[in-house]
């Protein structure tokens, strides 16, 4: 009887202990699986290096010709001489368009492009180059100010007193749309107004052909901004910061002359349009 009880107890103990082993094994396998997954992730990360591109600077380097110079950085540096395109967002087409390109030197690239005055968004890009995938820089908006003729958009209106004449030189003779002749009778004055939205500076060469003294002035609508008095048959400049001015008026008034004011102008605006 004792032997039978002893045998039963042995079986019971063995039966209770048996489930413990699989539980331990499961924990061990779970830990191994987690370690394996982490190792695979680490390998994947090492196997997929990335390259970054960014525009370090963008500026107008020739406001007369409309030259924009872009300096970009590429990290890590690509193969020397890699072609790097400059993209411009075209709102009317709703897509990016390459407008210029440069070639890398170390981790840097310099790109120049000639553009009209504008406010546009730019980016640079680099194609895939093993082991790196293609990369695109963050976008950057840029106001590009370029000199243009005062009369490029035409006169909004003109006026004065004493038979005023504000005659813009026609495109065939003055393609820059910057030249005009301003005349009036003795004691009179003449003015012309343009839309200067998007412009920040006015530069005017003035030639006084009057047989006397005149005043040439710039106005924001009817509010005077600056002026200059000109003696008979003299030349001078009248320049002014017109930031925020949307209706720029150029005016010539007689101070003392025998026949009335007569001034020839060559006028430019620094604008984004």
The pLDDT tens digits of the residues spanning 171-202 come to 999 999 999 999 999 999 999 999 999 999 99
d(CA 238, CA 268) in angstroms, rounded, equals: 11
Query: 49 versus 3: which is more confidently predicted?
Result: 49
Mean pLDDT of 91-104: 97
Residue 114, pLDDT above cutoff 80: yes
Strand 247-256 to 189-195 pairing? antiparallel
Question: Residue 227 is encoded by which pair of tokens?
Answer: 């002026």
| Partners of residue 68 on adjacent β-strands | 60, 113
Longest Cα separation, the chain: 150
Other beta carbons within 10 Å of 72: 25
Q: Which residues contact 117 (CB under 8 A, 6 or more apart)?
A: 66, 144, 145, 146, 148, 198, 271, 272, 273
Identify the band that residue 263 occupies on the pLDDT scale cut at 50, 70 and 90. Answer: very high
Other beta carbons within 10 Å of 145: 20
Q: What is the pTM of this model?
A: 0.80
The pLDDT tens digits of the residues spanning 22-53 come to 443 333 334 444 444 544 444 444 556 999 99
- Selection from 135, 14, 132, 154 nearest residue 72 by Cα: 135
Residue 246, pLDDT above cutoff 90: yes
Mean pLDDT of 88-95: 96
Specify the pLDDT at position 85: 98
The rounded radius of gyration (Å) of the Cα atoms in the chain is 38
Question: Residue 28 is encoded by which pair of tokens?
Answer: 């061990």
Residue 244, pLDDT above cutoff 90: yes
| Partners of residue 205 on adjacent β-strands | 237, 266
Domains of the chain: 52-144 (2.60.40.10), 149-271 (2.60.120.680)
């Amino acid at each position: 009887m004792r032997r039978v009880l002893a045998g039963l107890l042995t079986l019971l103990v063995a039966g209770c202990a048996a489930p413990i082993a699989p539980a331990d094994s499961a924990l061990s396998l779970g830990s191994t699986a987690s370690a394996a997954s982490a190792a695979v992730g680490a390998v994947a990360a090492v196997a997929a290096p990335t390259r970054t591109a960014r525009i370090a600077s963008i500026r107008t380097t020739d406001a007369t010709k409309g030259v924009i110079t872009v300096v970009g950085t590429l990290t890590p540096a690509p193969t020397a001489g890699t072609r790097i395109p400059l993209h411009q967002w075209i709102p009317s087409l709703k897509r990016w368009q390459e407008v210029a390109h440069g070639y890398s030197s170390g981790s840097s690239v310099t790109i120049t492009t000639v553009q009209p005055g504008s406010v546009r968004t730019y980016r640079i890009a680099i194609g895939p180059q093993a082991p790196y995938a293609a990369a695109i820089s963050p976008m950057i908006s840029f106001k590009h100010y370029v000199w243009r003729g005062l009369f490029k958009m035409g006169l909004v209106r003109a006026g004065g007193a004493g038979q005023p004449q504000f005659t813009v030189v026609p495109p065939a003779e003055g393609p820059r749309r910057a030249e005009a002749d301003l005349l009036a009778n003795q004691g009179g004055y003449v003015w012309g107004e343009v839309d200067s939205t998007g412009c920040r500076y006015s530069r005017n060469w003035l030639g006084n052909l009057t047989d006397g003294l005149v005043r040439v002035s710039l106005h924001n609508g009817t509010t005077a901004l600056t002026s200059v008095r000109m003696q008979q048959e003299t030349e001078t400049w009248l320049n002014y910061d017109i930031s925020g001015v949307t209706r720029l008026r150029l005016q010539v008034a007689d101070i003392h002359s025998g026949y009335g004011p007569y001034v020839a102008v060559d006028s430019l605006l620094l604008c984004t349009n």
